[in-house]
Amino acid sequence: MKLSVSEGNPHCIKPLAALQVTGVQVSVHYVNHDERVVPFLNRPVVPALLLPSGQHLFSPNVICRYLFEVKGQESSDLCNQWLEWEATSLQPALQLALHMAVLQGKGSEVSKVLQGHLNVLEQSLSKDNMPFLTGESVSAADVVLWASLYPVLSETSLALGERGSLKTWFDLVAAMHGCQSTAQKVLQGKGLQGMKSYMQRQPVPQSSQCRDAPPCNSN
Amino acid sequence: MALRELSSLEKYLGLKKPNKYTTRGDKKIPVLQSSNGTQLVGLLTIACHLVKEAKRPELLGDSTERRALAQQWLEYRVTRLDGYSKEDVKNILQDLNLHLQDKVYLTGNQFTVADALMYYGVHPLIVDLSIQEKEQYVNVTRWFDHIQHYPGVRHHLPLVVVLRNTIYTGRHH
């Protein structure tokens, strides 16, 4: 199997961290931001995983889910729910926050844009009193959520505030099997600025997509 | 819309007792209320749960790889087809058309729940296509027509007429 990633692309942190946590063997190839890896998509999409059958997975969340299943861990309903929430609710808000922080120099806006989503995570982690989002052991949901929040939460200026459970969880995943150094490498050790050339190529996010209340729970 | 889809999916799966649903937020995200007080949120999550409840795991894919492919198209459905813009329509149809060029179903040669949900999701797009556009996206149209005739899937949606013969000839793409 072959995983294509590009430097400075925050979505690539997810599958690279999942490789670290699961230990699945995949050859990793670095490509340019505008390389068309998946032939049928009309815009370049990275990361992409080439499967043994010759088909491509082009969603970072699904790649992570797949790597966990290869290791024998199937996704539970709760894991699916977190992955869907990440893709449909957190990502639009995160794209807006990153756009403001990286390209407009409005890093101070990030906490405001993301506070609803961070509260959802904090409430879920503190209520269940479990170390991970879906229970006692790490799942694809932890890796995906951790990796998508890494660029914003690893910046010291963007404090987590009073969200103690979220911070404990974030540090716990960061310490697993080199997740943190993998993420640092994707951002080339430059933090948010490491994503600048990638962000410049992305369409401007619509703030209207992020207004909705974060619809997740963890019952 | 999501609730009607879930109700159609329940009928397709042969679930005797309909589940209780509510929606949340401006986007009307579906929430399944189970009898023991817990909730599941999100179209993709609930659809996969219903398939498991109906004990039809093959509809999620019969191998690790096919399960991943089905999830990918379910995610594509909920991220790209919910709240799409006019400009997106072309991109979505182009993606699907190229992908389906050599496939019967989204994941290859086996029907999965991704085909059903993608069919529900693209229905409003296909209804609006002219005959000429339907010919332009010939693979999508062929797949769509196949799924709308797939036993038990269509339910709440009107049948879209698809011509089997090409009437615009000499078109180059």
Handedness of CA A169, A64, A139, A179 (dihedral sign): negative
Predicted pLDDT at B169? 63
- Report whether the peptide linkage leading into residue A47 is cis, meaning its omega lies within 30 degrees of zero: yes
Q: Considering CB atoms only, which of A59, A69, A80 is closest to B45?
A: A80
Pairwise CB contact (< 8 Å): B64 & A70: yes
Lowest-pLDDT choice from A210-219, B42-51, B120-129: A210-219
Minimum CA–CA partner of B81 in chain A: A88
Predicted pLDDT at A92? 94
Helix axes A77-85, A140-153, angle to 10 degrees: 30
Taking the C-alpha atoms of residue A106 and residue A180, their distance in angstroms, rounded to an integer, is 25
Give percent of chain B with pLDDT exceeding 70: 95
Secondary structure (3-state) at B156 = coil
Predicted pLDDT at B159? 92
For residues A168-172, average pLDDT = 94
Q: Considering CB atoms only, which of A51, A61, A215 is closest to B29?
A: A215
Taking the C-alpha atoms of residue B69 and residue B49, their distance in angstroms, rounded to an integer, is 17
B29 reaches A (C-beta below 8 A): yes
Per residue in B28-62, is it b (16+ CB within 10 Å) or e — as a string?
ebbbbeeeeeebbbbbbbbbbbbbebbeeeebbbe
Q: Give me Rg for the CA atoms of chain B.
A: 17
Predicted pLDDT at B24? 92
Taking the C-alpha atoms of residue B93 and residue B125, their distance in angstroms, rounded to an integer, is 9
C-alpha distances in Å from residue B148, one per residue of A160, A199, B11, B157: 49, 40, 15, 9
Smallest CA–CA separation between A6 and chain B, in Å?
20
Q: Which residues of A touch B109 (CB under 8 A)?
A: none
For residues A162-189, average pLDDT = 91
Structure letter (DSSP) for residue A38? S
Burial class (CB in 10 A: 0-12, 13-18, 19+), A185: middle
Q: What is the pLDDT of residues A42-85, one digit of tens each?
A: 889 999 999 999 999 999 999 999 999 999 999 999 999 999 99
Secondary structure (3-state) at A1 = coil
Smallest CA–CA separation between B98 and chain A, in Å?
5
Pairwise CB contact (< 8 Å): A40 & B95: yes
Which pair of tokens denotes residue A132?
A: 């991970």
Its pTM stands at: 0.94
The residues that bridge with A2 in the sheet, in sequence order, are: A27, A50
Predicted pLDDT at B172? 53
Taking the C-alpha atoms of residue A18 and residue A63, their distance in angstroms, rounded to an integer, is 9
Residue A215: pLDDT band (50, 70, 90) is low
B33 reaches A (C-beta below 8 A): no
A54 reaches B (C-beta below 8 A): no
Residue A218: pLDDT band (50, 70, 90) is very low
Q: Considering CB atoms only, which of B26, B41, B108 is closest to A217?
A: B41
Helix axes A110-128, A164-174, angle to 10 degrees: 90
Give residues 67 to 106 of B whose Cβ lies within 8 Å of A. 67-69, 71-72, 75-76, 78-79, 82-83, 91, 94-95, 98-99, 101
Predicted pLDDT at A219? 46
Q: What is the pLDDT of residues A2-57, one digit of tens each?
A: 999 999 999 999 999 999 999 999 999 999 988 999 999 988 999 999 999 999 99
Any idea what the Cα angle at residue B11 is, between residues B129 and B152, rounded to 5°?
A: 55
Lowest-pLDDT choice from A64-68, A211-215, B21-25: A211-215
Structure letter (DSSP) for residue A29? E
Q: Which residues of A touch B29 (CB under 8 A)?
A: 88, 215
A85 reaches B (C-beta below 8 A): yes
Smallest CA–CA separation between B148 and chain A, in Å?
24
Taking the C-alpha atoms of residue A133 and residue A83, their distance in angstroms, rounded to an integer, is 11
* Cβ-contact B150, B35 below 8 angstroms: no
Give residues 124 to 163 of B whose Cβ lies within 8 Å of A. none
A171 reaches B (C-beta below 8 A): no
Pairwise CB contact (< 8 Å): B108 & A55: yes
A207 reaches B (C-beta below 8 A): no
Q: What is the pLDDT of residues B37-77, one digit of tens each?
A: 889 999 999 999 999 999 999 999 999 999 999 999 999 99
Query: Could you report the predicted ipTM of this complex, rounded to two decimals?
Result: 0.93
Q: What is the pLDDT of residues A147-163, one digit of tens each?
A: 999 999 887 656 677 88
B42 reaches A (C-beta below 8 A): yes
Secondary structure (3-state) at A183 = helix
Q: Give me Rg for the CA atoms of chain A.
A: 16
